[in-house]
Amino acid sequence: MPHFEDFYAAKLRGSLGVTDAESVLDLRGANRATAEASLRDMLERSRFAKGKTVAVRLDPPPEGGGETLFQPAGRLLLDAKRRGLVERLQTLPAQDGLGFYVALCGRVERAGG
């Protein structure tokens, strides 16, 4: 088996992160309503633009535990994947903190139009 540098090995394993994304949606410090509205806006805008990759950054759990935006954001993005708006959805690697790497499908080209 060939030897790969860590950078290339990570890409083969699929651990794409903040530095790999074309843009970053930083929701750290946002409340749930604002975060969900921002994600919905990103998804809606993506329907009219070319596909791109976005790193969605979220706050880590508070000291001693507690709720984060990870589950609500994840559900919203997973639903978008089911609807065909998201091509790839995965969590960010540990060194990037809590969040998701999202590949948006973008505008669907109509055949014969």
62 CA to centre of own chain = 21
Average pLDDT for 87-91: 95
pLDDT over 70, % of the chain:
82
Choose the CATH number for 20-104 among 3.30.1370.110, 3.40.50.1000, 3.40.50.720, 3.40.50.300.
Answer: 3.30.1370.110
Residue ranges per structural domain of the chain:
20-104
Which pLDDT tens digit goes with each residue over 26-59? 999 999 999 999 999 999 999 999 999 999 999 9
Q: Look-up: residue for tokens 């990870």?
A: 70
The rounded distance, in Å, linking the Cα atoms of 102 and 66 is: 25
Phi, psi of 82 (to 5 degrees): -60, -35
Kindly state the tokens that stand for 77. 């993005």
pLDDT, mean over the chain: 88
The rounded distance, in Å, linking the Cα atoms of 40 and 77 is: 9
**Residue 75 pLDDT level (bands cut at 50, 70, 90):** very high
Phi, psi of 103 (to 5 degrees): -105, 110
Exposure pattern of 80-112 as b/e (b: 16+ CB <10 Å)? beeeebbeebeebbeebebbbbbbbbbeeeeee
**Residue 15 pLDDT level (bands cut at 50, 70, 90):** confident
Q: Is beta strand 23-26 parallel, antiparallel or unpaired with respect to 99-104?
A: unpaired
pTM: predicted TM-score of the whole model, two decimal places: 0.82
